[in-house]
Amino acid sequence: MRAALVIGLLCSGCHAAFIDERPGGAAGASELTGVDLGDGSVVATGKFGGRAGHIGIGDVSLLAYAGGITEIRFEPDFGCTDVPGPVVVLTQRDALGTQLDAIAGDIEVAPLRSPSGGQSYFVRADPAVQRDVFVFCKPYGVEVAKAPLTR
């Protein structure tokens, strides 16, 4: 009885929440609220492979929509090593090294929602110039998984 009371008090006292305080929300997602994108067309595909001793598996697709919107679709077979602070990166570079570089064409799309399973990310980007999708451990500057894109 006493253990149940302690657990109940601990659970009821936590009201944690995540608030995205970045300007414009996650990668400009707020500007897409209520926008009908219509049907996207697949413009590139790739397969994830692990980097730096990490696991990376599964397929990814880039879909182009009207208005310069690109969807990065991780297919249900996606999986990678669970690391702290993972972000999805769309880039023109073959390797990220230890940090992202916007001048070199790196686009930090959003935090990775889950280390496995299907998920989609939307970003304003020209899919014709993007070569690779990465999962990048931002706190430690480590490439976790890479999917070279083919058209």
pLDDT band at 129 (very low <50, low <70, confident <90, very high): confident
Average pLDDT over residues 70-85: 97
pLDDT digits (tens, 9 = 90+) for 99-128: 999 999 999 999 999 999 999 999 998 888
**Higher pLDDT pick, 5 / 108:** 108
Q: What pLDDT shows up at residue 21?
A: 38
Tell me what the pLDDT averaged over the chain comes to.
83
Q: What pLDDT shows up at residue 16?
A: 37
Residue at 133: amino acid letter:
V
Joined together, the tokens standing for residue 124 give: 């304003």
pLDDT digits (tens, 9 = 90+) for 22-62: 334 444 444 555 555 667 899 999 999 999 999 999 999 99
Q: State what percent of residues in the chain have pLDDT above 90.
A: 66
Query: Domains, the chain, ranges and CATH?
Result: 41-150 (2.60.40.200)
CB 109 within 8 A of CB 19: no
Other C-beta atoms within 10 Å of 4: how many? 8
Q: What pLDDT shows up at residue 108?
A: 97
Burial 10-47, CB ≥16 within 10 A → b, else e: eeeeeeeeeeeeeeeeebbbeebeeeeeeebeebbebb
